[in-house]
Amino acid sequence: MIKIQQNFSLKQSNSFGLDSTAQTFIEADNAEELLDSIKSGRSSFSDLLLLGTGSNILLSKPAVGTVIHPVNTDIMILDEFPEYVLVRCGAGMDWDKFVDWTVNCGYYGLENLSLIPGSVGAAPVQNIGAYGAEVSNWIESVNVIDLESFRTFTLNRDQCGFGYRDSIFKDPVNKKWLVWEVVFRLDKEPRPNLTYKPLKQEFPVGYRPEILEVRNAVIRIRRSKLPDPAEIGNAGSFFKNPVISGCHAALLKENYPDIPAYYHDPETAKIPAGWLIDQCGWKGFREGPVGVYPKQALVLVNYGGATSIQILNLANRIIESVQKSFGIKLEMEVRLI
Ligand SMILES: Cc1cc2nc3c(=O)[nH]c(=O)nc-3n(C[C@H](O)[C@H](O)[C@H](O)COP(=O)(O)OP(=O)(O)OC[C@H]3O[C@@H](n4cnc5c(N)ncnc54)[C@H](O)[C@@H]3O)c2cc1C
């Protein structure tokens, strides 16, 4: 199936709820039909946007050219071994529905990533992560359609260039690479990941939770902390957690003994951006329709009717104040379109 619509409003297609129009909006669940449509010129490629559910983008322009939105949702077990299973899932599948499926099958790996909004196709692009887990650790390979050369190819995990909220798919030279399917390698052996302290604290000391218990705990924590985009427009963490030098972290620790710093190695430390923003007094700030979520300073919100300019202005003011107080330049996690 391929469905092409003109002058399509994107307001319902981004979790900030911002107004923008796609000149052409293409939904496809079949790779051949999508490629045929492009080859035959039925779909043009001016100003291309590959779109999942729009939960990590900030639409800053009143209009975009062509939007391609995969809606392929097939799940298939490709191979099964005593210890693990290889599962392929279409890019258009809702991420949390897929996690729910894996949990119901008893396949370990993705349960800590429960309830992250978005599509399966965007998961490797963003290298989504939460509660001590990162999706890249569970990806075997990614099937890609290059919309420029009409080539389809597979990248294994090492070829995906995964980093913190980063991957090869974010490189501007690859902006016509459509993630079409993702193959996951999931454990059949129970291996609950309780490395993240607040998650561990959900269980009695020494308790080894079942996979469904982990998923439910993650969902509980997330619901208590994060706004539901269906109720308040937002795109999750607006900024990345900055990684600074060990020396810089040590200096900050002298002035701010409570600063949380997570050392990957002695040379670099990751500082929670939410803590920095909170220290600068932004948590709960509101100005007209835009604000900083009262329960999580990392989340900028649209209380209704905000423009991208208002959101960006607030973001820039936060960046400036964190820079001034801590000498740290925050970077946006949300992708500016
Ligand atoms: C309330 C809330 C909580 C969140 N919590 C987390 C969290 O805990 N951890 C986390 O990592 N993220 C989190 N996010 C961010 C977001 O959920 C993820 O980044 C998610 O992967 C985005 O999926 P999407 O389908 O909405 O992608 P979109 O927002 O549609 O797209 C994001 C980027 O990926 C590209 N893209 C999308 N689909 C494809 C494709 N098939 N092929 C190639 N490129 C593509 C787009 O061009 C865009 O650049 C949160 C967001 C919200 C609103």
Q: pLDDT tens digit string along 148-168?
A: 999 999 999 999 999 999 999
Mean pLDDT to the nearest integer, 202-208: 95
Q: Is the pLDDT of residue 41 over 80?
A: no
Give the closest residue (by CA) to ligand 1 atom 27: 52
Which residues contact residue 318 at a Cβ distance below 8 angstroms, ignoring those fewer than 6 apart? 239, 277, 280, 282, 292, 330
Q: Is 270 helix (H, G, I), strand (E, B) or coil?
A: strand
CATH architecture of the domain with residue range 75-225: 2-Layer Sandwich (3.30)
Q: What is the mean pLDDT of residues 295-323?
A: 97
* 262-265 β-sheet, strand order: 243-245, 268-270, 262-265
**Do residues 44 and 84 touch, judged by C-beta distance below 8 A?**
no
- Average pLDDT for the chain: 95
Evaluate if pTM is beyond 0.75: yes
Tens-place pLDDT, residues 275-287:
999 999 999 999 9
Compute CA distances 316 → 110, 159, 199, 311, whole Å.
34, 34, 32, 9
Ligand 1, CB within 6 Å, residue ranges? 15, 49-57, 70, 91, 116-119, 121-123, 125-126, 128-130, 169, 178-179, 226, 229, 234-236, 335
Architecture of the 2-70 domain: 2-Layer Sandwich (3.30)
Query: In this structure, which topology does domain 233-336 adopt according to CATH?
Result: 3.90.78
Domain spans of the chain, in order of start: 2-70, 75-225, 233-336
Half-sphere exposure in the Cβ direction for 271 (13 Å, CA): 26
Catalytic residue set: 165, 237, 333
Fold: same for 2-70 and 75-225 = no
